Amino acid sequence: MALEIEGSSPSTHPRHSNEKIMQKCEAKINFFKKKCNITTKLSCVYCGEFYCIEHGIIENDHIYVCSKKKCVLKYEDLQQHHIWLENAYSLNAQKKCGRIKCSESYDHLCSRCSIGFCMNHIDFMRSNAITELTLVCKHCEQRKGIWNN
C-alpha cells in the first residue's frame, strides 16, 4: 500500500518523481530547529530529505548525503567498507581468509559481503525468528548497528 499525501499522488510527489523539483532545504540550523529553507533540488540518498550545498555532501557520481549524523555515519561507513572490501578481495584471490593478518585459508563465505573467511573469523547468526542460521563475518556484524537505524 503506497503512502498517500493529501493533494499528491505517489507519481507526482517530489520524492517519487524522476523530475527534479525545487524544494526547500530541510536542514535544521540552530537549537530552536529553525530550517535553512534555501531552494534546492538535492535529496539525501539515505533519508530522502532535501538539503542545500551548505548542509551536505555531494559526490561526483550523483550521491547526495545530508548533514544528519546518521546519514553521514552511513556515508563514511560505506567509504571505509569499499576500502576494506578491496583488501579482503585481494586476500581471497590468494586463497586466504579475508581478515588482515590471518594466514589461514578461507572455508566459508559471509552471507552479507560474500568474502571468504576461516572458522575463527566468521560467526553463525540468527537471521529471523524461525531460527534460520546464516554465516556473517565480524566486519558485517559490527556495521549492522549503523545500517539498522
Question: pTM higher than 0.75 for the full model?
Answer: no
pLDDT tens digits for 60-107?
777 899 988 999 999 999 999 999 999 999 999 999 999 999 999 999
Neighbours of 14 (CB within 10 A): 16
Mean pLDDT check: name the lowest of 21-30, 36-45, 78-87, 104-113.
21-30
Neighbours of 105 (CB within 10 A): 12
d(CA 72, CA 86): 22
pLDDT tens digits for 105-137?
999 999 889 999 999 888 877 666 566 678 888
Strand pairing partners for 116? 109
Q: Is the pLDDT of residue 18 over 70?
A: no
